[in-house]
């Protein structure tokens, strides 16, 4: 695991573009520090959403916000707010969530309270790609009209697997750290020097490192043991099974770069 700090990440990015000055604080008032304080958070969040990074994977049982009338949680439609149709349930989006990856169910327990199986029935079940649980992230308001974000799904007792908002570099994988340094370097160039050839070169370096990090990160876990023939996968294309949110989707989002 990486042992870097936010300042060391920023100073590595400055060094990469040939800056003669480093920063000791985001509040020191220098041009480098001012640019760093503006760029760090949005660049981290964009990179975090650009792949299903293992070092940013979190899992949490969701808290119910609303349910459709007739569900066990809201039989008369008066216990909880009503979920928007056609969804059965609405859950609070975790406060530290940057992007929901998929929804996993829990195995049901027997009505008598005796476990159905001798295994851990609280563990989420594993579904094939064709059986992914649909969901949507949406805007809602509470009883006081305060805005909030929710996850809409038909899954009861839902568990979300998501990308966590963890900007602390000490918890990052080393390849993600390198990708973050290169990404920041590409954005530092127009902010500090307007050297267009240098910016273009840094973008190319960043794209290469991000792609390498995505591939190496994906190799660390097996998301599917099914073999899909190439001709079937090609037919499905961007609109087929593997384009949907879920277990088999690499879910690589685009990264934006400064114009040159």
What are the tokens at 241?
Answer: 């099974």
* Residues facing residue 164 across a β-bridge: 97
Please tell me the distance from the alpha carbon of residue 171 to that of residue 9, in angstroms, as a whole number.
13
> What is the average pLDDT score of the chain?
82
Q: Mean pLDDT over residues 53-59, rounded? A: 94
Mean pLDDT of 101-119: 61
pLDDT given at position 255: 82
Q: Give residue 246's pLDDT band: very low, low, confident or very high (50, 70, 90).
A: very low
* Residues in contact with 185: Cβ distance below 8 Å, sequence separation at least 6, in sequence order: 13, 14, 16, 17, 202, 205, 206
Other residues' Cβ atoms within 10 Å of the Cβ of residue 95? 8
Rounded CA gap, 100 and 258, in Å? 27
From the number of C-beta atoms within 10 Å of its C-beta (0-12, 13-18, 19+), residue 237 rates as exposed
pLDDT at residue 107 tops 70: no
144 pLDDT above the threshold of 90: yes
* Residue 7 scores a pLDDT above 50: yes
Residue 189 has pLDDT above 60, yes or no: yes
Mean pLDDT of 162-189: 93
What is the chain's alpha carbon radius of gyration, rounded to the nearest angstrom? 22
Q: How far lies 191's CA from each of 34, 39, 77, 133, 237, in Å?
A: 10, 9, 54, 43, 39
Please state the domain extents for the chain.
6-53+173-220, 57-164
């Amino acid at each position: 695991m990486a042992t870097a700090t936010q300042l060391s990440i920023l100073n590595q990015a400055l060094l990469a573009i040939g800056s003669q000055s480093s920063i000791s604080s985001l509040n020191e008032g220098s041009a480098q520090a001012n640019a760093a304080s503006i760029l760090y958070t949005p660049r981290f969040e964009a990179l975090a959403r650009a792949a299903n990074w293992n070092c940013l994977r979190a899992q949490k049982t969701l808290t119910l916000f609303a349910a459709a009338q007739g569900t066990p949680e809201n039989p008369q439609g008066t216990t909880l707010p009503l979920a928007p149709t056609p969804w059965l349930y609405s859950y609070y989006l975790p406060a530290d969530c940057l992007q929901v990856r998929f929804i996993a169910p829990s195995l049901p327990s027997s009505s008598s309270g005796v476990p159905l199986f001798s295994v851990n029935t609280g563990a989420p079940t594993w579904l094939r790609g064709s059986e992914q649980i649909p969901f949507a992230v949406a805007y809602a308001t509470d009883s006081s009209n305060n805005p909030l974000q929710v996850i809409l799904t038909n899954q009861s007792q839902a568990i979300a697997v998501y990308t966590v908002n963890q900007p602390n570099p000490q918890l990052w994988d080393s390849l993600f750290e390198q990708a973050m340094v290169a990404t920041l370097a590409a954005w530092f160039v127009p902010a500090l020097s307007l050297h267009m050839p240098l910016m273009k070169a840094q973008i190319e370096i960043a794209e290469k490192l991000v792609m390498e990090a995505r591939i190496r990160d994906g190799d660390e876990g097996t998301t599917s043991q099914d073999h899909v023939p190439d001709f079937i996968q090609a037919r499905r294309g961007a609109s087929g099974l593997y384009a949907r949110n879920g277990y088999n989707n690499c879910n690589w989002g685009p990264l934006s770069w400064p114009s040159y």
